[in-house]
Amino acid sequence: MTIAVRGHREGQPQRPFRERSGKINLLVGGLVACAVAVAVVVVIRYRGGGSGPGSGAAAGHDSPQAVFEAHKQAMARKDWKTMVSLLTPEAQDLMVGQMAMGAVGAAQSNPDVDGLCKRHGIDPALVRKQWSEADGKRSKSPPSAGEMKEMKEMAMQRWKELAASIRDKPAFSGKMMAVLEKLQAEASAKRGGPALPDTSVFADATLTELKIEGDAAKGMGSLTVEGKTMTSPITFQRVEGKWYLSMPEGGAP
């Protein structure tokens, strides 16, 4: 699931708070789903190149099972910094790049979001321009398979370009999610309803059918929510002797 959040077009009035807060809700919920996909359910499928572990990369774990357990516990307590640190460099690039682009588009000139991006070398005005250009190219009719592939590749390339300037991706993720959670809490207080999705259920996720082949591993993650069990293939990669979660092959749907 890609997060389709449209940015503010230059020269047009800002959207009403209700609509903008809805975009933030979509973004936060989507980022939760993005994180969940790596750990337990089929939500997002990306693959891309990375630049190697950054200054914020965790030491990884000695086994796929150990990194899975650490990741699901981080998800359960909404510890975004730890959760991202347990991803491979490739997965970090795609998730953090998407987070940065989605946050700028959803928050629309929010000083906290823009300030954080600027401190990490991201130009919010340029990101909003890219969103505007993407809107202009989007046709009213359903895109063809070729157009969908082109859109996916373009989005992934932009995410990786954004992520390239962020040296400490886990730290950036933790700070950005804190900002977005605050914005969503404020929005929810105005219109009622829960501030954020409940992630505590992910503490009960399980990993089965684990198979290790060299520096790669694959298993099945399962999670039961409200009586319904969801399963998804979970992939792992060993980097410099330590195991991390990776994105499944196949690209974004």
CB atoms within 10 A of CB 224: 13
Distance separating alpha carbons of residues 237 and 14, to the nearest angstrom: 44
Distance separating alpha carbons of residues 96 and 91, to the nearest angstrom: 8
Predicted confidence band at 174 (pLDDT cuts at 50, 70, 90)?
very high
- Total residues found in the chain within this entry: 253
Domain ranges of the chain: 17-246
Q: Identify which has the larger pLDDT, 101 or 63.
A: 63
Digit-coded pLDDT (tens) for 175-194: 998 888 888 888 778 877 65
pTM (whole model) above 0.75 = no
Q: What is the pLDDT of residue 137?
A: 63
Distance separating alpha carbons of residues 216 and 200, to the nearest angstrom: 28
Distance separating alpha carbons of residues 39 and 173, to the nearest angstrom: 17
Of these ranges, 99-103, 165-169, 234-238, the one predicted with the greatest mean pLDDT is 234-238
Which ranges constitute the DSSP H helices of the chain?
Answer: 17-39, 64-76, 80-85, 89-107, 111-119, 124-137, 145-164, 169-191
Digit-coded pLDDT (tens) for 44-72: 222 233 333 443 445 689 999 999 999 99
Digit-coded pLDDT (tens) for 75-85: 899 899 999 99
Q: Which token pair is 227? A: 């009586």
Q: Which token pair is 191? A: 């219109």
